[in-house]
Amino acid sequence: MKGRVLVFLMVLCLLFVSFAVSYGQQASKDPVLADVHKAKGLQCASCHEKGKKVKVDDNEAIPNKQCVVCHGNLSTLSKKSKHEINPHKSHLGDINCTTCHHGHKPSTTYCLSCHNFDIKIPAGTVSAPLPSIKLPEIKEIPKGIKTEKTDIVVVGSGAAGLSAAITAHDKGAKVILLEKMPITGGNSQLAAGGMNAAGTKFQKEKGINDSPDIMYEDTMKGGKGQNDPALVRILADHSAKSVEWLTELGADLSDVGRLGGSSVNRSHRPKGGAAVGAHITQVLKENATKRNIDIRINSRVVKILEDKKGNITGVLVEGKHSGLYRINSKAVILTAGGFSANPEMVAYYQPAYKGMTTSNQPGATGDGMQLGEKAGGQLVDMKEIQIHPTVAVGSRILITEAVRGNGAILVNREGKRFVNEITTRDACSAAILKQTGKTAFLVFDEGIRKSLKQIEGYFHLNLVVEGNSIKDLADKLKIPSDVLEDTISTYNKAVEAKNDAEFKRPDMPRALKTAKFYAIEVMPGIHYTMGGIKIDTETKVINKDGKPIKGFYAAGEVTGGVHGANRLGGNSISETITFGRIAGQKAAEFVRSKR
Ligand SMILES: Cc1cc2nc3c(=O)[nH]c(=O)nc-3n(C[C@H](O)[C@H](O)[C@H](O)COP(=O)(O)OP(=O)(O)OC[C@H]3O[C@@H](n4cnc5c(N)ncnc54)[C@H](O)[C@@H]3O)c2cc1C
């Protein structure tokens, strides 16, 4: 009897302890949005469908519709924000609420995968985790896997993918567009400078004399002659048509400026010189939506399927909620972008660039090159990687060359200059990498700040350290202030004498003498990958024997050959539209021939 009581007491004790432990865990876990809403009396059905077993598609369409019903859309919410940087209004355009706010795990502010501004999200942590750089290895396709059917699958929703999808749709094909990230737009959405085109009506209106032949010459010269001449011919010859096509879809590309390596003004962008990428990806997305094209985010293509003869038959997709499934299609268009945000791939092709940051969106992990190669495609120019010397440390934000152009200097942790700041991108990058900590401080004063409007953005984005004097700035940067004072005074003397005896900087427009003094910590970053899948002039993917693979097309940064050893600014957006359209057209023609 006594023994039984003891056992009973022991069991009770154990139950209590385990309850206390689990309760403790519960209490220490931060509430997620579903809990926050439950506490307000809002049950599951407020975010999900009433009376049904909860099912969420990869676009998370129903929960997002529900958020807007109760809270309003981004535009209404943005009017409420007290912050200078408004998470509900940005260059990303109209994105899902669930890009940042999650139902059952801590919310994460997507903006912080590129920026480092100080902003907190309710029921969540600060920054979003980076997507995996590894493509899952799928040896065997599971039996009985869910299977769908369409004419054409497009892989990646940047400018190339959207252009291909719209064109193929307009030629009568049924299209599914897959994007692995929670937003569409890829790197295309970030392009700022412009879109190169030769012989446009906008150039003619401004009296600019340009021709496809001059664009061809500039591009070949920029690429050190390593480019595929037939592809460059297409880039140049179709460029004006591509601007026209975008204009017909509703884009404004009426402003024309100049980017490095072009011998005339041919870089097209919206009126007033606004960023080109955010604008055109939004116009393209609106057009795709208007056409009811099936766009699926949170949907990563993990394998391209082929039959025994090597002809393409579809893709395997890993959906955030739907898991692994298969789409059978007559053609696949690969538009998955570059690999600048895959440090392992970058270090493999260019060991010297190991550990470098990047200006690219976190999804630029080179899936496309890996998928294409596994499906038989040939890779070209993979070692050709473009770096940019000044990406802000702690973010992915590129600091424009114009800051140095307008007079800023670079100093190291010892407080000294170490390079002619306006030398070529690769030489300047190499010099920074030789400094302590492999970073440098871009130092400027009030005069330089006033000379360049773009600099204000870096202040908004919390990238700039400020000092009331040179000493104050040096103290904040934790570098020796006497050395920094010396460095700046020597530099100012060189400006006055128009002779930089130390580093032979040819152009020194301003001395650094007006308080406040400012610094942005910068490091070289991977900016663009020239290499990729080999294609022919019809965007057909070429196999290792030099023959086109049936049903397989590719366009945009995932391909190699257009830019040779070095891409000119403005040529990439041009490439995505021109080759994206050709891919859409050729794939649709191929599909029709199989009917
Ligand atoms: C900061 C910045 C500024 C730039 N400025 C300019 C400029 O002014 N002018 C210019 O011409 N170029 C510029 N570029 C380069 C240019 O933006 C890009 O090279 C170009 O937009 C690439 O377009 P794309 O459609 O090929 O790829 P992206 O736009 O990168 O789209 C590829 C998409 O595929 C998705 N994807 C990848 N793998 C998978 C998978 N397995 N399944 C599903 N989806 C996948 C990606 O997430 C991405 O959304 C700039 C680049 C950056 C980063």
Q: CA angle, 73 as apex, 72 and 77 as ends, to 5°?
A: 75
**Mean pLDDT over each residue of the chain, to the nearest integer:** 93
462 CA distance to ligand 1 middle (Å): 25
Alpha-carbon dihedral sign for residues 130, 136, 142, 145: positive
3-class secondary-structure state, position 522 = strand
Kindly state the tokens that stand for 436: 């302590």
Kindly state the tokens that stand for 385: 């990687």
- Enumerate residues 6+ apart whose C-beta is below 8 A from 143: none
pLDDT in tens, 88-108: 999 999 999 999 999 999 999
pLDDT at 392: 95
Say how many C-beta atoms besides its own lie within 10 A of residue 50's C-beta.
Answer: 8
338 CA distance to ligand 1 middle (Å): 7
Instruction: Evaluate if residue 343 carries a pLDDT over 60.
Output: yes
**Residue 156 Cα: closest atom of ligand 1:** 34
pLDDT at 11: 54
CA atoms of 63 and 69, how far apart (whole Å): 10
3-class secondary-structure state, position 245 = helix
Instruction: Evaluate if residue 28 carries a pLDDT over 80.
Output: no
Largest separation between any pair of C-alpha atoms in the chain: 106
Give exposure, 339-350, as e/b (b: 16+ Cβ within 10 Å): bbbbbebbeebb
pLDDT in tens, 515-549: 999 999 999 999 999 999 999 999 999 999 999 99
**Residue 360 Cα: closest atom of ligand 1:** 53
Kindly state the tokens that stand for 432: 């920074």
402 CA distance to ligand 1 middle (Å): 23
- Enumerate residues 6+ apart whose C-beta is below 8 A from 203: 197, 210, 256, 264, 265, 266
Q: Give the pLDDT band of residue 18 (cuts 50, 70, 90).
A: very low
pLDDT at 4: 64
- Enter the pTM of the model: 0.93
pLDDT at 6: 55
Distances in Å between the Cα of 437 and the Cα atoms of 76, 355, 477 are 44, 12, 13
Residue written as tokens 């690769």?
426
pLDDT at 8: 58
**Residue 575 Cα: closest atom of ligand 1:** 11
Domains of the chain: 34-127 (1.10.1130.10), 169-273+284-384+530-568 (3.50.50.60), 386-526 (3.90.700.10)
**Residue 580 Cα: closest atom of ligand 1:** 25
Q: Whose CA is nearest to atom 10 of ligand 1?
A: 570
**Residue 556 Cα: closest atom of ligand 1:** 26
243 CA distance to ligand 1 middle (Å): 18
Q: Which mutation among 153, 180, 188 tests ligand 1's pocket best, with the greatest number of atoms within 8 A of CB?
A: 188
Q: Give the pLDDT band of residue 17 (cuts 50, 70, 90).
A: very low
pLDDT at 454: 80
pLDDT in tens, 44-75: 999 999 888 999 999 999 999 999 999 999 99
Kindly state the tokens that stand for 587: 């794939």
3-class secondary-structure state, position 373 = helix
Pocket of ligand 1 (CB under 6 A): 155-161, 178-181, 186-188, 190-195, 276-277, 300-301, 335-337, 359-360, 363-364, 367-368, 398, 528, 556-558, 569-573, 576
pLDDT at 22: 38
**Which of 516, 364, 356 has the alpha carbon at shortest distance from 446?**
516
CA atoms of 278 and 68, how far apart (whole Å): 23
553 CA distance to ligand 1 middle (Å): 17
Q: Give the pLDDT band of residue 23 (cuts 50, 70, 90).
A: very low
Kindly state the tokens that stand for 224: 């050190």
Instruction: Evaluate if residue 20 carries a pLDDT over 60.
Output: no
360 CA distance to ligand 1 middle (Å): 8
Quick check: 382 and 349 in contact, CB under 8 A? yes
Residue percentage of the chain with pLDDT more than 90: 82
Q: Which residue has the higher pLDDT, 485 or 139?
A: 485
Q: Give the pLDDT band of residue 131 (cuts 50, 70, 90).
A: confident
574 CA distance to ligand 1 middle (Å): 12
pLDDT at 404: 93
- Annotated catalytic residues are 425
Strand-pair category, 465-467 with 517-529: antiparallel
Q: Which mutation among 573, 574, 579 tests ligand 1's pocket best, with the greatest number of atoms within 8 A of CB?
A: 573
CA atoms of 411 and 521, how far apart (whole Å): 10
pLDDT in tens, 373-391: 999 999 999 999 999 999 9
CA atoms of 276 and 388, how far apart (whole Å): 19
Q: Which of 17-21, 130-134, 273-277 has the lowest mean pLDDT?
A: 17-21
Q: Whose CA is nearest to atom 47 of ligand 1?
A: 363
pLDDT at 1: 47
**Which of 421, 430, 394 has the alpha carbon at shortest distance from 521?**
394
Taking each helix axis as running N to C, give the angle between helix 571-594 and helix 229-249, from 0 to 180 degrees, rounded to the nearest 10: 90
Q: Which of 174-188, 453-467, 565-579 has the lowest mean pLDDT?
A: 453-467
Instruction: Evaluate if residue 400 carries a pLDDT over 90.
Output: no
pLDDT in tens, 237-264: 999 999 999 999 999 999 999 888 899 9
pLDDT at 316: 98
pLDDT at 237: 98
Mean pLDDT of all residues in 274-287: 96
| DSSP state string for 99-142 | GT--SSS-EEEGGGGT-------TTEEEEPPPPPSSPPP--SPP
Q: Which mutation among 183, 396, 572 tests ligand 1's pocket best, with the greatest number of atoms within 8 A of CB?
A: 572
**Residue 195 Cα: closest atom of ligand 1:** 11
pLDDT in tens, 159-207: 999 999 999 999 999 999 999 999 999 999 999 889 999 999 999 999 9
Quick check: 445 and 468 in contact, CB under 8 A? no
pLDDT in tens, 344-374: 999 999 998 998 999 999 999 999 999 999 9
Q: Is 16 left (phi over 0), alpha (psi -120 to 50) or beta?
A: alpha
Residue percentage of the chain with pLDDT more than 70: 95
Mean pLDDT of all residues in 459-463: 90
Q: Point out which residues pair with 195 in neighbouring strands.
A: 268
In terms of DSSP H, where are the helices of 385-461?
Answer: 402-405, 425-433, 446-451, 455-460
Preceding amide of 516 cis, omega within 30 = yes
pLDDT at 198: 98
